[in-house]
Every structure is written in C-alpha cells, then in structure tokens.
Amino acid sequence: MYKSASPSSAVVVGIDGSCWSVDAALWAVDEAVSRDVPLRLLYVVEPRGDGAVDPQQEAQDLACADASVRRALVAVESTEKPVKVEWEILQGHPSRVLLDASRSADLLCLGSLGIAHATGHRLGSTAATLATAAPCPVAIVRSGGRHGTTQPRHVVVEVDEGPDSTVVLEAGISEARLRGAPLTVLATRQNSHPDDRQKVKDEGARARLDKRLARHRTANPDIKFNPVAIHGSTMNYLDRQSDSIQLLVIGRHRRPGVGEVVGSARSGSAQVNCTALICQHNQRL
C-alpha cells in the first residue's frame, strides 16, 4: 500500500470515497490548524475475501483509493488555510486500521455516512465502533444544511457528575472559541419524575450549574456561556433546538450510553443531526 506519513501527532480523517468523508476532512482543517499538527487523510483498502489476490482487482482498488484521497486533497487545498496535509493508503479492516492510527492522533474525524450508506444506516458501523473504542477524541461529522438564522449556531456541551465532565467542558470551550460560537452547557436530570415542585428543582439545578461555571466564565471572557438545566432527555433538547446547534460535545462514559447519540456498531442508527465530539477524561485534547 501507499504510505506517506509516519505515526505521529495529527488530526486523522478516515477517507472512503464518499462526499461525507470529504466533508469530514474539511471540518477537520480548522482542528488541525488550531492544534498546529498535520491533517492526515487515511484511506483503508479492505481485502476482498480469503482467496488468492486478484492483481486486476487490487489495482482497481488502489486506483479508487488514490482518486478518493486526491479528491479530498483538492477540497482541503481549496480552503487555502495554512494546514500541512499528509496521506496514507493502507490495507486491512477499516476499524482496526483506524483504531491503530488513533493511538497517536490528537483527534479522529469520520463522516456520519460512508460509501456503503445504501444499507439504510445513517451512521456507518466503523464510525460507531471507533466512537466508543478510540483512545483519542472522535468527531462524527455531519454536514450542515442551510439554516434560517444569521446567528452563530451553538456548541452544546453535556455535563454530569461523571469523570469525563471536566475534559468535556474544556473541549467545548475550545470548540466554541475556534468557531466564534456561543457555548450552551447542558445539565439534565433524567431519573426524577415531574411534579408540582419541578420548577423549583430546575431552578436549583440552574443555580448549581451557574456556580460550577463561574470560574470558567472568569477564565474565558471571550466565550458566551449559556447554562441550561433541564428535566428530561438530552435527545429531546437536541431535537427541539436542532436548527441552532452545530456541535455536540459529550463524554464517552455518559449515562445513557454514547450509542444514544452516535448509534451502535450493530444498528448504525444515529439520532442527532449535528456533528458530535466524543471525549473521555484520560484523552489528550
């Protein structure tokens, strides 16, 4: 296989020939520039069966891989942003190869749909697997459509009492600054039942969230914080506010699990219409 990059710090993008992977590469450009690391485009050629290698088929697969990488390269170069681009074409199972690449990556970016989207799944199983297994943060990039507002769409961070919350909030602050976007910090309570005292409970939760964010506001005066404490599901909030959200930042160990947001490896189904960034407390950001 072709290879033009060595294992080192980079923002890695999985390329598969689909327009969604090109969108992921474009989304990742600013991430690489902000981290001052290369943008690495990685195409994985999956072996065909267990039999003898067909030289003609192998040549066709390599030609397809080369064309796909070059298409992504042209798109990235057209941004005219100061990003160093590396690329690799490797052979193997996509999940395993990308998982190995993620061990030295600052961030792994994947399109929400892949070349095999005709199965009817909104999220490829490779992306769903890596979202819960990669040792670095993982971005599942969904192409933004046209929105009827001229206001900047929010970055939303979901916080709880879990071990990932600190790094998730820090990631959200960085992403909001990178995009010049307001930061909505979302705290949910899903285990209680609505009653006549619910308004008082939500106001108390909002006050606790405000207190928690006080030092972050002081340290980041350039960020507009929007604390939101709700009773119910994050998914319901995302659905109601979908037109105003560009990025959701969550922890890998959230409850309920990450699969609620990014889908599962088995079903591939996803339920949010914005890009999702999945972090955990022992990851480098």
Per-residue pLDDT of the chain (285 residues; tens, 9 = 90+): 455 445 679 999 999 999 999 999 999 999 999 999 999 999 999 887 666 677 888 888 899 999 999 999 999 999 999 999 999 999 998 999 999 999 999 999 999 876 554 333 344 567 778 888 899 999 999 875 444 455 679 999 998 877 788 899 999 999 999 999 999 999 876 555 555 555 555 677 778 888 889 999 999 999 999 999 887 788 888 888 888 999 999 998 887 777 777 765 554 455 577 899 999 866 655
Looking at residue 144, what is its pLDDT?
58
**Model pTM?**
0.85
Residues with Cβ within 8 Å of residue 130, at least 6 apart in sequence: 95, 98, 99, 102, 108, 110, 138
Residues with Cβ within 8 Å of residue 223, at least 6 apart in sequence: 173, 176, 177, 182, 183, 216, 217
Q: How far is CA 76 from CA 38, 56, 57, 253, in A?
A: 12, 30, 29, 33
d(CA 174, CA 156): 12
Looking at residue 68, what is its pLDDT?
95
Closest C-alpha to 30, from 129, 134, 106, 90? 106
Other beta carbons within 10 angstroms of residue 244's beta carbon come to: 16
Q: Which helix (H) or strand (E) holds 101?
A: helix 94-102
**Which domains, ranges and CATH numbers included, belong to the chain?**
10-141 (3.40.50.620), 154-279 (3.40.50.12370)
DSSP assignments along 37-90, one per residue:
--EEEEEEEPP-SSS---HHHHHHHHHHHHHHHHHHHHHHHTT--S--EEEEEE
